[in-house]
Structure 1
Amino acid sequence: MSYFAGWSRSSYFTAVFQALFVTFLWSTSWVLIKIGLEDMPALTFAGLRYGLAFVCLLPFFWRSKGRTELRQLNQSGWLRLMALGLIYYALTQGAQFVGLAYLPAVTVNVMLGFTAVLVALLGMGVLGERPSVWQWIGIIVALAGGLLYFYPVQIPQAQIVGFVAAAVGVLANAGAAVLGRSVNREAQLRPLTVTTVSMGIGSALLLIVGLGTQGLPALNWQSWAIIGWLAVVNTAFAFTLWNVSLRTLSAMDSSIINNTMAVQIPVLAVIFLGERLNGREVTGLVVAIVGTLLVQLGRKRKSMS
């Protein structure tokens, strides 16, 4: 019963349901992105999604006196927010959209799953965080799962761009996670402020590059509906609901729930996108998920000890 100290059992399970609902929304984003990419260029699509989401978050940002926080921010703080916007939104999300334009959703999902492994390794040099024994075990297990999934390594010519983009996305996502953790350690800005400002910067860069290199095609109602849903529901609303759930859930709880996306995405890809997995790929996917979970839980256990 001590685990529920400070809140009621009903509020805890409500928070769990909220977090699970958010991860489901985020998982469906992959299906919607794959469908939208049939008519929209990747970078322009990503810029429109996060640009509209930024607009949706602005009213909450202004009402919560976000401008006061920004006025007190020094040059170093602004540079860190700009770097976060560049790395997490422009690079990570842009690379993810490009990767999904060339690769199956399951493949991109497996590759992005190695973000936790890279974060653990990068944390050694950047944040001085030494991986625990369980994290090292998780790293080995995750790598073994990845090798099993991709074995034998045979990359079709048409998918090389996608693999390069997904690899860039993994590196950028890991760098953004380390930078974001460093920013949040200082506790100078609220999550809403960090997200709104960095999203605005990153989405602006995505739109500039996307429109400059790929242009804006004539979009039909389905394309605009996908952009609107991804921006309003799967980004702005989901972000807000996720932060509400974090008022009750522990870091370990949220980490475990967030990891369910690694299972939800392949299931949705098989059902709605017609992607297929053989026995070896399913086994590799499961092993990689287990390894990633060990890496995440190993860090949480260490921080709690």
Structure 2
Amino acid sequence: MSNKPAHTTTILLAVFITFLWSTSWVLIKFGLKNNLPALSFAGLRYFTAFLCLTPIVLTSPKERAVLRSLSRTDWGWLALLGLVVITLTQGAQFLSLSYLPAAMVSLVLNTTSVVVGVAGIYLLKESPSRLQWLGIAITVFGVGVYFLPISITGVLGLGLLAAVSTMLGNAASSLLGRKINLQEHLSPLVVTFVSMGIGSVVLLIIGVVTQGIGILTLTDWAIIAWLAVVNTAFAFTVWNHTLQTLSAVESSIINSLMMPQIAILAFFFLGETLTVKEIVGLILVGVGVLVVQLRKRT
């Protein structure tokens, strides 16, 4: 009984972290409306977060030892992870948010676990249960309810292409991250530090070369700093701490709160409205993804 208050506190802390992550979407939209180039904006966010992690890693004898022990193979896998997680996935996410409403992008990204589940059939030889197939069906139906009928042309088509690229990048990151995290000699902090460093530098270079960096105002720098320090470095550190206490099911449920949070924040701060059909679609996708995750992790 004595652990119940502490467990409740951890749950509330995890919910707070999902709220921080949800506010990232609003802040990104604010930055994009200020004419921050999408790729350069993403590169600056994650490169700044990488700089925040640098003193933490380099002042830790344990993490320095892990860094020194990295083989060429380790560096190769971590570089690939950084290119997939940061360069491809985050770059595409910022691009999608420059074209589409936040709630729409959030819905597309929430299908990641379904794609991972289906990909696992072929790549990991993991066959979904009947309940998981039901969850997949509910998710697909929810996506259909939200989007159909739709004409995928022009800016909407570009935005959806970027959003789907982000979702596929998330799925690839999940499968790749599972492989890398099985290596016991690699610490989570070093994996994050190295992959984020490589991925963010490449993304920033691509952004500057293709889009320029724009004229950054004090507000722009404040948004970048907050996203990097609070919503990335701090939030991921605290989230990893909560995972030491929460069960996989609890963390899955809490993480699923982001989709409705993003929709609500987008309504109040961005003026993005939802039709009844879109709300039903969001709910169906949320339920379907939750069914897949709960069955998968129990």
Please, what TM-score do these two structures have when normalized by structure 2?
0.96
Residue-by-residue CA offset, 1:180-204 (whole Å, 9 max, x unaligned): 1121123331211111111111100
The residue number in structure 2 matching 1:31 is 26
C-alpha contact (below 8 Å) 1:15/1:246 kept by paired residues: no
User: Cα RMSD between the aligned structures?
Assistant: 1.3
Deviations 1:22-78 (A, max 9, x none): 100000000000010122000000000000001111122123332211222222222
* Contact 1:81/1:197 (8 A) holds in 2: yes
Residue equivalent to 1:4: none
Q: How far is the alpha carbon of 1:127 from its aligned partner?
A: 2.5
Instruction: State how far apart, in whole Å, the 1-side matches of 2:122 and 2:39 are.
Output: 32
Which blocks of at least 5 consecutive residues in structure 2 are unaligned?
none
CA distance in 2, matches of 1:141, 1:189: 38
Does residue 143 (structure 1) correspond to residue 140 (structure 2)? The answer is yes
Task: Work out which of the residue numbers 26, 41, 45 in structure 2 matches 1:45.
Answer: 41
1:279-299 per-position Cα deviation (integer Å, ceiling 9, x unaligned): 111001100110011111111
Percent identity between the aligned chains? 51
SS of the aligned residue for 1:249 comes to coil
Name the residue aligned to 2:280: 283
| Amino acid paired to 2:53 | L
- Map residues 265-284 of structure 1 onto 2, 5 A cutoff: 265-284=262-281
Could you tell me which of 151, 156, 163 is aligned with 1:159? 156
- 1:58 is matched with 54
Distance 1:67 1:127, change over 3 A: farther
Deviations 1:83-122 (A, max 9, x none): 1100011001000000000011111011111101111112
Question: C-alpha separation between the residues in 2 aligned to 1:274 and 1:265?
Answer: 12
Structure 2 Cα separation of the partners of residues 158 and 101 of structure 1: 10
1:255 aligns with 2:252: yes
Structure 1 ranges of 4+ moved more than 3 A: none
- State the shift of 1:156 in Å: 4.4
Alpha-carbon separation, structure 2, partners of 1:46 and 1:186 = 29
SS in 2 for 1:40: coil
Does residue 205 (structure 1) correspond to residue 206 (structure 2)? The answer is: no
Equivalent-residue separation in structure 1 for 2:278 and 2:153 (angstroms): 17
1:10 and 1:274 mapped to 2: Cα distance? 38
Whole-angstrom distance in 2 between the partners of 1:15 and 1:271: 28
Is 1:99–1:165's contact at 8 Å kept on the other side of the alignment?
Answer: yes
* Paired position in structure 2 for 1:11: 6
Displacement of 1:155 in angstroms is 2.7
